[in-house]
Chain A
């Protein structure tokens, strides 16, 4: 109980600081002396933070100001950060960007990664939401999964929650909650995969790019997972500026991300990306359509 009280106190403080910073920025506008950056949690937060370190260094050197990495615990908190203005730059999920964009159309998606080909994902800017089961379980049809435990990522995750609840529900023709038993939100794709491999659930909805990453890291073999369902192609996670970001900073950041440099290459390597291409909100309208269903 003491732990819980402590957590509550900490959380209160954290949010209080977010709001207070936002208030200061509004007044000074472009006169910023530091850039705050965050990204949706996809794996272990420490590992993810170290992977983004080349990008942060690139930005700090290119902008000539410190770049502060905010460790977000959920998709929601990233959305909160961007919407509140507490975060200047964020890597968001496609769906969470679309959802946040509804609240604040000023949110500006400007770039996304182009990845190399994998077992589950073709090369390019798109990936899929996959319904996977362990091959060893011998499950061959979606119907076999009725009333079983299903692993999801985050309620705001595109491939890990939103697409399954919408597109997949449409595919099977019944509400998602009726078909499956317990819904387990693992928090990240990697955790969902780990839980699936640990038999904590019978199936999981994961991002095809995270599945490829797991394969590359040797967490799974090529035949470990069987894909029972695949979503429409989904555009990769966008780099998003909060609304009202100083134009100077915006252009310099875009420049840094689109100009080849050793630091950029290093960052791209960590993400198994071959490049970065520029995007707009239009690139995510397909998802908006799915969500609106």
Chain B
């Protein structure tokens, strides 16, 4: 095995001079090991070695061959063999082992070197290679710089993005905050607007006086309600409500009370409403109700009757008790109409019908539903038969002369002794008779009956007292009325002074009626003006009409007891009538006070419950006896 001896042991060693040959000693092993070994010297030309190293890229680095003590045998770099120059620090060389590989860092001429070495302790040499770090890393440096630049750019980019993000987020946050604020403001504005809108809508949709819907709102709402009811195959009912005598209440008690009444009526209607029902005031004293829900026709009628009763109950308004009643027209969908328009028209018409029927009435638009109309119809149908069967009878109410307090005559009041309905009073059938024209024949029948009775009394009891008969203006307007009356009197052989005809003020407005009156008057029949003080008639008409008596209406007489303030009207009327040479009859005298008052006032004749109720003719003789006895007692 060749061994490289130590450098200093070389006989040719000169410090600072290169060794141009590496002397390797190779011991020759002889058979006899006890004898001293012989050595072969092999010298390696360093230039040869340098030539080989020529192709090794060392850069600024170098390669060294060191002896076992770390002394340099040779140093070479890319340019060639190097002698002298900076002292290369010695590395710790391993003393034993086969091959030792090591690595160290050293500084040479201010430069850091990496130093890699291989030591072969057995061969006594070490080969080392040193290269400055900057060269080792040289291939990396540009990349490193690029990487650094890239990293810096990336970092800047990331910072930039983060900055931008933060900025934009902050900006967004600000915008959002501003938006939220403006949203809140908007919300507040919207809420205010909505409140205002609701208020104005309410104001626009509500009738301020009654608190019910107004016409517009009612029609809006009702339309869809009716549609929905139809869809559910349920009835919708429209009720038109009009207050009776509202105008006179308003006129007499003032608008304030009128308004209070309207409010009270609205309140009563409101309380009657069921779920889903709506009510409105259309204006004036006109109320409308739409009933929905699942109501049958019977239910509807029941409801209408209840409403009528409810609204007819007395009202207490600021200490004043008021009585009024509704006239109600009822239309039912789908029977009477599909649309609100149709229903409104029908209900309106029905309401007028109810109004005509009298106060506190309700009427269905569909006639078949009007029970009273059915009765009316029946009566109408029964008229002819009744006349034929002489079902009409007269009751007689005595008329008393106040001065003598004796009975001076009777007012004949017609009754219908209906086989089915019993005794019917004129208010039940006179309107029907007037409407159908039966009033003419009925009137003649009454005249006939009265005449027959006078005649009967004359013959049986020797009584010859005049009988007053009510004549309808329609009848008066009949061309042959005067002639017919006179004929009837003649038939019974009566004088004209025994028959008195009571006419209403309206009769005086009709030209033909006035004609008849003159005819009758001329014939000697006495005429009296009925219901004086309630109609249009004034005293002016009295001059034109040849009446003999004035009958002061019961409503005026009634007030005598209620209010003493009203007595001057009666007194004045009496005085005026006297001045016109008219006899004055007071109707409806019910109390003794009224009687006294009337007597004091100068009234000629009185009739009323206080003096005698209307009674059948056969009761007259007994009444006369009783009356005479009472008068005698008084």
Contact = CB atoms under 8 A, between A and B. Distances in A.
Physical interaction between A and B: yes
Interface of A: 1, 4, 7-8, 11-12, 15, 41, 45, 73-77, 149, 151, 154-156, 177, 180-187, 191-192, 195, 198, 200-201
A12 B84 contact: no
Contact of B127 (A1, A41, A183): A1
A182 B85 contact: yes
Nearest to B19: A155
Contact of B48 (A73, A156, A184, A186): A73
Given A7-B48, A8-B42, A183-B83, 7 more contacts: A4-B127, A76-B20, A76-B47, A77-B47, A180-B84, A181-B85, A185-B81
A4 B17 CA distance: 23
A48 to B, nearest CB: 12
Given A1-B99, A185-B81, A200-B77, A8 B44 contact: yes
B80 A195 contact: yes
B18 A155 contact: yes
Contacts of B48: 7, 11, 73-74, 77
Contacts of B78: 195, 200
Contacts of B21: 76
Contacts of A154: 47
A7 B49 contact: yes
B82 interface: yes
Contacts of B50: 185, 187
Given A74-B20, A177-B16, A183 B47 contact: no
A200 B16 CA distance: 20
A185 B45 contact: no
Contact of B51 (A12, A73, A200): A73
A200 B79 contact: yes
Given A1-B99, A183-B18, A8 B24 contact: yes
B47 A184 contact: no
Interface size class of B (residues with CB under 8 A): 20 to 34
A177 B15 CA distance: 10
Contacts of A185: 18, 47, 50, 80-83
A201 B80 CA distance: 11
B120 interface: yes
Q: Give the interface centre of A151, A184, A192, A201 by most chain B CB atoms within 10 Å.
A: A184
Interface string B56-99: 00000000000000000000011111111110000000000001
A77 B44 CA distance: 10
Given A1-B118, A155-B18, A184-B77, A7 B82 contact: no
B502 to A, nearest CB: 159
A151 B85 CA distance: 12
A244 to B, nearest CB: 24
B211 interface: no
7 interchain residue pairs of minimum CB distance: A182-B85, A74-B47, A195-B79, A186-B80, A73-B48, A185-B81, A200-B79
Contacts of A4: 127
B2 interface: yes
Contacts of B83: 182-185
B123 to A, nearest CB: 9
Contact of A7 (B52, B54, B80, B85): B52
Q: Give the interface centre of B18, B20, B21, B80 by most chain A CB atoms within 10 Å.
A: B80
Contacts of B43: 15
A201 B79 contact: yes
Contacts of A149: 85
Contacts of B24: 8, 12
Contacts of A198: 79
Contacts of A74: 20, 45-48
Interface in B84-117: 84-86, 99
B127 A191 contact: no
A184 B82 contact: yes
Interface string B21-52: 10010000000000000000011111111111
Contacts of A180: 84
A1 B120 contact: yes
A187 B20 CA distance: 11
Contacts of B118: 1
A191 B80 contact: yes
A195 B44 CA distance: 24
8 contacts: A1-B127, A8-B24, A74-B46, A75-B47, A77-B45, A151-B80, A155-B17, A195-B79
B81 A184 contact: yes
Nearest to A183: B83
A13 to B, nearest CB: 10
Contacts of B49: 7
Contact of B2 (A8, A184, A191, A195): A8
Q: Give the interface centre of B20, B54, B79 by most chain A CB atoms within 10 Å.
A: B79
Contact of A182 (B45, B52, B54, B84): B84
Contacts of B79: 151, 184, 186, 191-192, 195, 198, 200-201
Contacts of A73: 45, 47-48, 51
A200 B79 CA distance: 7
A7 B120 CA distance: 15
Nearest to A80: B45
B51 A155 contact: no
B20 A155 contact: yes
Nearest to B65: A4
A210 to B, nearest CB: 15
A182 B47 contact: no
A77 B49 CA distance: 12
Contacts of A183: 18, 82-85
A133 B50 CA distance: 24
Contacts of B42: 8, 11-12, 15
A187 B80 contact: yes
A156 B20 CA distance: 10
B120 A182 contact: no
A75 B48 CA distance: 11
Contacts of A182: 82-86
A75 B47 CA distance: 9
Nearest to B48: A73
A11 B77 CA distance: 21
Contacts of A191: 54, 79-80
